Amino acid sequence: MEQPINYYILDGVSDCWDCPYIGEIPEELDMINAMLGKRIEVKNFPIRLPVTIADESEVVYPDIMTADLPLFSNKLKLVFDSLGINNINYYPVELIDEQSNNTKAHYFLGIILDLIDCIESGTERSPAGRFILKNPVIDSARVKNHRLFRLGEEPSLIIVDSRIKETIVAANLVGVSLKKLEDYVSL
């Protein structure tokens, strides 16, 4: 009998108080299109994003930032590259200090191309008609051989399989959260 595949939500940790805070996103970066895996139309690279840093001496640059746009460190990009993950379009990004305009860190905006509707169970509607995910289970047959993708029913979620999860954990990345999808409940 074939073992079921475990899936995980790849995200940034939500309580990183020493992480830079991304300011205003340039107008040409459509966050919805980025989430839906659509090509972004930017004329100048690297993309420069302003950040606020509370305390320069204690700042932590995580390997993933997902609050506004999916930003991956070079270290995380190398993990994906080593696993043959080829369904991400990368765009170079510089985080710049809002006050000094100096470059503080280099990242990649990662546009994940695959958006897959694959929830087998764990969906319901609130009394107001809002879509809710509650302990969702993925139909692996619909996922086919995709190992990293956005969940079609909830495009804000980046999903990875257990092999990617294990490789990320072994890489000792900073500020990365990997939560088992079946434990997820949307708010």
pLDDT per residue as tens digits for the range 146-185: 999 999 999 999 999 999 999 999 999 999 999 999 999 9
Residue 90 lies in domain: 17-111
Dihedrals phi, psi of 42, to nearest 5 degrees: -120, 135
Does one domain contain both 100 and 129? no
Domain's final residue, options 67, 90, 111 = 111
What's the total number of domains in the chain?
Answer: 2
Does one domain contain both 39 and 92? yes
The pTM of this model reads 0.93
Does one domain contain both 94 and 157? no
Nearest residue to 145 (alpha-carbon basis) of 81, 64, 84: 84
If phi over 0 gives left and psi between -120 and 50 gives alpha, with beta otherwise, what is residue 78? alpha
Does one domain contain both 122 and 81? no
Residues 113-150 have pLDDT tens digits of: 999 999 999 888 888 888 889 999 999 999 999 999 99
